[in-house]
Structure 1
Amino acid sequence: MRNQIRKMNYLQYFLTVLLLSCIPPVYLDVISMDSQNLKSVLGGHELVFVNFYADWCRFSQILKPVFEEASNKVKEDIKEEGKVAFAKIDCDSENSIAAQYHISKYPTLKLFRNGEPLKKEYRGQRSVDALATFIKDQIKDVVEMHNTLESLDEVDTNKRNVIGYFASQDSDQYRTFAKVANQLREACKFHVAIGPVAEPERTGGDTVVYRKPNTRREDLTYTGSLVSYEHLVQWANDKCVPLVREITFENAEELTEEGLPFLILFYNPDDKSIIERYNTEVAKQLLHEKSAINFLTADGSKFSHPLHHLGKSAKDLPVLAIDSFRHMYVFPHNVNNDLEKPGLLSQFIADLHSGKLHREYHYGAEKTESYPTPTIPGEAKEATGHLPHDKSEPEQKVKQPTSPPESSFIKLAPSRNRYTILRDEL
């Protein structure tokens, strides 16, 4: 009888083990996000790693267990509440969220820090170790400690640097500074001196300064509250992220991922003065458009293809144009002569927002002060700046387009048909 019970116990144990081995592992750490909990999840964690997926996508299905296992692995090492969360969004059922973050392919992995998405999507290897390592690296403190003021004079002058001088590391002021440093780690280098070594720079209390590239002690001092994250991050962002950036073939795809139309100055590399003038006018006329437009410059000798789409060539430089990611529009004035004329640049942007630039292609120039209606028949298109017309050449009939030139730079963005996950990455 005892042997029979023992055999039954063994059999029961064997069946239990067999049953458990057939049950797939349960992952509880990946949060399903939707319009109801989006803000609370993003706002409740320093980092949120989000998998934008579609159930019908085979590559999304392949990534799913990898992403879940990476979540578990990170949670084993980072147990601090509110530090890290892995989340997923079904883009079919939450298409408004997908549109908000410009998701055009599946799966797309984006990292959110302090509720804000990083400009770059994750493009590394899709393995458990790679995903976990990426998140762990993002948690690491990026603030560089300095034991002497002299060492601060040796910081890389090719970089944009933010320097903090604090009495203590255990203070709200320093914690705010560290949070800002992590938020802007891709844009600036952050340094700090703490305690007695910082006293010579703390005559008025804790201080944060910005050091421009190629300077030593020509620092700009932050004058706002050091315990206000919103104010400090805005100030640092304005210093660390240039209002006008250079677009190259290396960073074009990254810039398109930001999802903002381009206002782009194609310049002759022998003419650097036009870049300075453009920077000045953007800051003067368009600063309020920073969140809606990407202000860029491009070497016109390298980006000849977009110029060709506009009917322009190197001899026409400088050329100022908008790429809306649907169509391209040329500034309807002479860049060299009219760039500084009050209101012309801001009106150009306003006409993009209102749809006027597109309407003029179909109906001719609208009668306004900025865009006077042409009096010469057949020149309505030229007045909008969209068709080149060299008056030194003989008059010839040009076939009028029925729509503006197609966007050029969207072709440098990730293809809508290209998946972010490759078979050999797993």
Structure 2
Amino acid sequence: MSLNTTRLVVTADNEGGWDYGTLRGPYSAFHIANGAKYCVYNNRLMPVSQKVSREEGYWTLKQKAGLFDTGERPIQISGPDAEKLCNKVFTRNVSNLKPWRAGYALLTYPNGNILCDGVLLRLAPDTFWYVQADGPVYSWLIAHAQGLDVEVSDPNSWVSQVQGPASLDVLNNLIEGGLPADFKYFSVRRARVRGQDIIVSRTGWTNEAGFEFYTLPNEPNYDGAALWNAVLEAGKPFGLDVAGLDSMEIRRIEGGILNNGSDMDDTMTPFEAGLGAFVDLSKDDFIGKAALASAKKESRLIGLISDGGEPVREGPVTIDGKRIGFVTAAAFSPFLNAGIAIVRLDQPHADGTKVEVLSRDHKTHSAVLAQLPLYDKEKKIPRGLVVDIPERTSGADKKPAKSRKPEAAHS
């Protein structure tokens, strides 16, 4: 078969011409100077690569802290019927989400298939931010808000992440007054950095400890460039470095974090994507509930590990030459010293099933299916219950991660 081992990226050129339909973030000047290449995500330019290499950025993320400028788009839902709208469109019970907490949330079509995913922040009893993945969420919310006393608006916020074992040390050094009290996993707080207001949440896209920070450009004290520089300065004592999505991609595959539109899409239900835990069929009616109640509950997504190097994205996965699925995301894991992937199966197969996978060397290699996440199965690392800092070795010399108990303030 014909292999597609190339990709398309966006770069900055000092020339005139077509330049419409995409948004540059507040840190664009830094990224251009840093040699970034971009993808388009939510019509926003998101750096997929930076000056630091993919592997160097990965090790910074695993051992210290990485700074990532990401393309999620916050949408504000506010007013007396904000909770009612949220319960109408999201598959989870939003009434259980307390102010200044966040939770993973899915939207589905009436047929039960996935529209989009993201993180829902509750900033007040009547105010939510939905920090969405790439998808048509804004128009969907506007359409379903008709007849309700609610306003759907764009706060024009830009989202970035600091991830890695030193990330909460960076946060403690960054915000006025230090790390917020009781800042647990999926907590949300309003904070100040050198006089300007931001929102922070203890969330991320890596399954490492970390936080995300959200600009508030409508506040009079907003200064995007100053905020970015403040994060860099706060992280310097802890080895913080700016990395691109390519480095984050390796870790999110290891951690079993899905990308909407590729790992899962509008041909799949949340159950088929292994996300049934986020569907509450006991709550009042929501869009897609009737279809989901009768849908098959087995997952068709699973991980893969191969000693044959990085698999080809969209390449076939076979058993004795017969296709059983395809690769939706792939990388080489320096920590596992193996090729890794997320696989969409035609039919469910068990953990440990031996398969073959097409790799970037244009050859088919042996592999094994593995449940996601590929390690840290109980997700103790992002919850701050353990801090694993692996030594940078490879092959037969690879040593196990060193573990230490997190500081009480970071748990």
Fold similarity call, TM over 0.5? no
Q: Which has the higher contact order (CA 8 A, sep 6+)?
A: 2
TM-score if structure 2 supplies the norm length? 0.24
| Higher share in helix | 1
| Higher share in strand | 2
Larger radius of gyration between Structure 1 and Structure 2:
1
TM-score if structure 1 supplies the norm length? 0.24
